[in-house]
């Protein structure tokens, strides 16, 4: 990647990482409901999952290259369906008896969220196919980007997590409204994935 593209690449990483998505909303929701400790346990799974997806994207991009472009649209529809399922699950968790809180999610939940998170799959693949492949087919250049990307999304997850922890007491009496808001944000993410840009 030419150095002149570095600001664009970093802006792409920032916007892709900080905008609402499954992992960010999961971090926020877990911190609001259970506090910082359980949310950090889940975050370790988010970090691990993001790293695995990023490294898998390096291999897929290296071996398949431009062939991936035709599948990005399909991945968007799969991702939208997954986000709608998460929105429904978030709403359903609010429907339980008042005062009853299910067990806090942990490492495995965070890992599974990321391993099924189409947003980061597309994010990683697009970073490599847009910023690396047009300029070089070097495995090492792809790997460098693949090793950098896990510092973007999980860092943003932490921002959402700490925001949720800071707001936990404020929202304690408004759990249903918060869950509805998170579910609506997930549904909006789903719609934005499949609408023409």
Which pLDDT value is given to residue 93?
Answer: 63
Give CA–CA dist 191/189, Å, rounded: 6
Burial class (CB in 10 A: 0-12, 13-18, 19+), 92: exposed
At residue 100 the predicted structure's pLDDT band, cuts being 50, 70 and 90, is low
pTM above 0.85, yes or no: no
Q: Which of 6, 34, 21, 14 is nearest to 192 (CA)?
A: 21
Query: What average pLDDT does range 8-17 have in this prediction?
Result: 83
**Tokens standing for 171?**
């929202």
Name the residue with higher pLDDT: 90 or 97: 90
**Tokens standing for 76?**
């968007």
pLDDT at 94 over 60: no
Residue 56 neighbours by CB distance under 10 Å:
15
Which pLDDT value is given to residue 96?
Answer: 54
């Amino acid at each position: 990647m030419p150095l002149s593209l570095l600001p664009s690449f970093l802006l792409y990483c920032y916007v892709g990482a900080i905008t609402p998505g499954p992992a960010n909303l999961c971090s926020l929701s877990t911190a609001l409901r259970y506090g910082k400790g359980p949310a950090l346990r889940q975050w370790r799974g988010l970090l691990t999952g993001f790293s695995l997806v990023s490294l898998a994207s390096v291999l897929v991009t290296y071996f398949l290259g431009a062939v991936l472009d035709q599948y990005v649209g399909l991945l968007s529809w799969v991702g939208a369906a997954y986000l709608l399922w998460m929105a429904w699950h978030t709403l359903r968790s609010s429907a339980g008896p008042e005062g009853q809180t299910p067990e806090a999610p942990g490492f495995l939940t965070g890992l599974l969220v990321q391993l099924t998170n189409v947003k980061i799959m597309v994010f990683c693949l697009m970073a490599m196919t847009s910023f690396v492949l047009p300029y070089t087919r070097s495995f090492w250049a792809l790997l460098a980007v693949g090793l950098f990307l896990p510092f973007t999304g999980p860092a943003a997850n932490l921002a959402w997590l700490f925001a949720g922890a800071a707001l936990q007491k404020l929202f304690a009496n408004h759990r249903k409204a918060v869950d509805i808001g998170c579910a609506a944000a997930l549904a909006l993410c789903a719609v934005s994935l499949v609408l023409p840009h």
